Amino acid sequence: MNITFLNPSFLWGLPVVSIPILIHLLSRRRPVTSQFSSVKFIQLASTTVVRRFKLKQLILLILRSLILLLLTLLFARPVVRRMPLFAQAEGVSRSSVILIDNSYSMGYVEEGESRFALAKKVARRILKMTKRGDRAALFLISDEVKPLVSYLTDDKQILWERLEKGTLSFRPTNLLPGISQAYKILQESGSPNREIILITDLGINGWQGIDGKSIKEFDPEVKFIIIDLNRELLSNVAVAKVDCRRLTMGETSQISAKIRNYSKEKISRLFVSVYLEPQSKFQIDRETGKKVGQGFVDLKGGREASKDFFYNFPREGTYLGKVEIQEDSLPSDDRFYFKAEAVEKIKVLLIDGHPGISSFSSETFYLTLSLSPTTSEVSTIQSPLVVKVVTPDGFPQEKLDDFSVIFLANVGKVTSSLRERLTNFVREGGGVVFSLGDNVNAQEYNLNFDNLLPAKLVEVKGKSKGEREFKAIDFQDFTHPILQVFAQGKEGDLTRTRFYQYFATQVKPWAKVVLALADGLPLLIEGELPYPRAGKVLLFTSTLDRDWNNLPSKPVFLPLIQQM
């Protein structure tokens, strides 16, 4: 540490400090001797007064001199210069681990240069300052640790070459793994001069959970140096998410983009555009597709807003897309790439075994609503399903090649034609769902559908609703595709449904139980015929209306049926 002066010419004024001393010396009065009679008592009294007077004069003299000294130094502007940041004792080698933050926030562009590019420049300067015998390791860190040079080395050439290959990532920030790794490496170093150099923008997310206790390898003897590249707080807007569900060929489909404003200021009329192209036309060396929609969105500070686009997919298949906003200081999150599947309408045939007097009393009323929901969020136009309802008598006239799935809802009338057509339909890859009810005769079903049903029907169990006795779902196979949407509880709780009546069954060896009631009674059973192209068969041992249970009145009914 040393002291210098910005205006050293003012130091010529230091002799001014002596002025008060000269004035004091020149203004001293010489004592005059006068003859008096005995002055013994007067001399004793004045001694104390004289001492006090001299002390005050001395203090005043010192204060006057100090004032002039401080004024002179103030005009000279002294500066304390410390030792260089990376200075070390003469003849002692240094071991350094350089950590460069390459999380996506380091992509902020300031004055035409990204923070990551600046971080690499700083790292080059540090390497340039190393002396002979110094060793260094080099890492890129985000929420993962990427070693450029994973060991301490004094080979500057390797360090420089690996540093040049470092690239910015699109990952979030978590500095803890990288810092822990640095301490581990320095534990093996025999150098008394050890340091960790972190080059980062000090994003707040990266420091969560970091303290001396969270780093097991923490060593207070290791110098920790942070180089902050965050010059100022910049505004940032990002495309946070793109939702493109229910994309149906030949019909208008919705693509919804979530735009997030991370700044505190309101942003008006932010330009947003969406691009699409078939995957077959995708080329790695160019940007995705042609523009199919554009518009503006207003964003409040710190809030998120949605921008919806509508597009009619001309053909089925896989599409690659991109939603893009106006470029800001952080370009990496100004676009969001996504993949979408445009499918043909799935045609579903419902065979209603109990049509009823009105549609409300029919066996397929709730089933039809769940397959073609008409809420404000999902209209029948957007639904990827086309549902047709027929009676058992009208089934022979239907061309089954047009359908992907057939539901038999409490169908009691079983004919040889129905059995043969359903068997061939499943062999060719179609899916069949059996739901039971009071029209079903167990013996007749076992005889006619023995090769199709995944379980043998035994008898009806339980009592009617009026008895107030019921069973609840006790087993759910969340690994099965039908129930995966219920695994996190976001789509509702199936165990809250009540089943008053149901068929007891004997599950066949080649079948699988997906749902079961208390006491291990199977509720939903899946089977598959032993043919190469065969589709799947599902058996629901209760009704799909409210006669035997309250499942159709629960919110879980819609996702359950659509997953089937």
Per-residue pLDDT tens for 74-100?
Answer: 877 776 655 454 454 455 688 999 999
Please state the pTM of the whole predicted model: 0.50
What CATH number should be reported for the domain whose range is 346-563? 3.40.50.880
| SS3 state at 521 | coil
What pLDDT shows up at residue 381?
Answer: 45
- Rounded CA gap, 432 and 538, in Å? 6
- Rounded to whole angstroms, the Cα distance separating 428 from 463 reads 39
What's the rounded Cα separation, in Å, for the pair 78 and 4?
6
According to the model, what pLDDT value does residue 513 have?
93
Q: What pLDDT score was predicted for residue 379? A: 43
Q: Whole-angstrom Cα distance, residue 357 to residue 472?
A: 31
CA-CA distance, 195 to 213, in Å (whole number)? 19
Structure-token pair, residue 203: 């994003």
81 forms beta bridges with 2
CA angle 458, 461, 466 (to 5 degrees): 155
Q: Please give the pLDDT value at position 456.
A: 93
- In angstroms, rounded to a whole number, what is the distance separating the alpha carbons of residues 474 and 522? 10
Beta bridge partners of 94: 193
Read out DSSP for 419-481?
HHHHHHHHHTT-EEEEE--TT--HHHHHHHSTTT-SEEEEEEEE--GGG---B-EEEE-TTST
Q: Which fold has domain 237-342?
A: Immunoglobulin-like (2.60.40)
CA–CA dist 369, 157 (Å, integer): 70
* The pLDDT of residue 346: 82
Q: Tell me what pLDDT residue 113 has.
A: 85
On whether the CB atoms of residues 475 and 516 are closer than 8 A, the answer is yes
Q: What are phi and psi of 460, to 5 degrees?
A: -80, 135
* pLDDT (tens digit per residue) in 213-265: 667 777 888 888 888 887 666 678 889 899 886 677 777 788 899 999 988 88
Q: 94-228 and 346-563 share one CATH topology?
A: yes
Tokens representing 388 are: 């047709």
User: Would you kindly state where each structural domain of the chain is located, as residue ranges?
Assistant: 2-26+47-81, 94-228, 237-342, 346-563
Q: Give the strand order in the sheet containing 536-540.
A: 385-390, 346-352, 405-409, 431-435, 536-540, 522-528, 512-517, 473-476
β-strand pairing of 385-390 with 431-435:
unpaired
All residues at 6 or more sequence positions from 201 whose CB lies less than 8 Å from its CB, including other chains = 101, 105, 106, 108, 115, 228, 229, 230
End-to-end CA distance of the chain: 77
With beta carbons less than 8 A apart as the criterion, state whether 540 and 561 touch.
no
pLDDT beneath 50, residues of the chain: 83, 85-86, 88-89, 375-381
How far is Cα 348 from Cα 312, in angstroms, rounded to an integer? 22
Specify whether the CB–CB gap between 124 and 138 falls below 8 A: no
Residue holding tokens 């397959």? Answer: 371
Question: What pLDDT sits at residue 425?
Answer: 92
Give the closest residue to 20 by CA, choosing from 72, 68, 71, 75.
68
Q: How far is 195 from 88, CA to CA, in rounded Å?
A: 11
Would you state the CATH architecture of domain 94-228? 3-Layer(aba) Sandwich (3.40)
The rounded mean pLDDT for the chain is 82
* 3-state secondary structure at position 483: coil
**How far is 275 from 255, CA to CA, in rounded Å?**
11
Strands 473-476 and 335-342, bridge-based pairing: unpaired
Give the pLDDT of residue 18: 79
pLDDT of residue 301: 87
Rounded distance, CA 195 to CA 199, Å?
13
